[in-house]
Amino acid sequence: MDDERDQTLMRRALAQAEAALTKRQAPFGAVVVDRSGEVLGEGHNTVRADRDPSAHGEVVAIRAALRRLESGRLPPGTTLYTSCEPCLMCAVVIAQLGIGRVVYAARGTDVPGAKRLLDADLSQAAPWVNAEPGWTPIELRGDLLREEALRSLAAFDWG
Ligand SMILES: [Zn+2]
């Protein structure tokens, strides 16, 4: 996957995080793209607005993609770009759907006050998935434009 495309699509995920900030939502954004880089769905965290604890940016973007696709499933070769490393809840969704590549900016440990189940995020869960037959291996690229994601995280009132 070429670096320029990764950067462009990560900027789009970061723009979603910024859009969340302006709506007083937690600054997490995500974009789902197919093999060719076409955007299938995007969105940002709406946990507070929707009073939906599962409405993480990744889940919102994946829901948008699945609703748009007639097959109701993500095509092979799907990549998820997210402004922050996916948590374990999102990791389950990613693994169940067979998303084979995830690119993230900030790390899970960068989130102020984050409560991380099993002290883990996707980078701890992916090796288990990748060693398990019958699951789609997950290729990870972390820390892409991390500094920009950190700025959004710092701008949010976590209280
Ligand atoms: Zn999550």
From ligand 1's centre to the CA of 89, what distance in Å? 5
**Those residues with Cβ within 8 angstroms of residue 38's Cβ, 6 or more apart along the chain or in another chain:** none
- The pLDDT assigned to 44 comes to 98
One of 42, 58, 139, 147 is an active-site residue; which one? 58
Model-level pTM greater than 0.95? yes
1 Cα to the center of ligand 1, angstroms: 24
Mark whether 58 is an active-site residue: yes
Q: How far is the CA of 88 from the centre of ligand 1 (A)?
A: 6
Angle between helices 88-97 and 57-68 (to 10 degrees): 20
In this model, does residue 2 exceed pLDDT 80? no
Q: How many angstroms is it from 21 CA to the middle of ligand 1? A: 17
Tens of pLDDT, residues 68-81: 999 989 999 999 99
Q: For the residues 14-22, what does the mean pLDDT come to? A: 97
* Mean pLDDT estimate for the chain: 96
User: What does each C-alpha distance from 70 to 47, 65, 67, 83, 149 come to in angstroms?
Assistant: 27, 10, 8, 27, 33
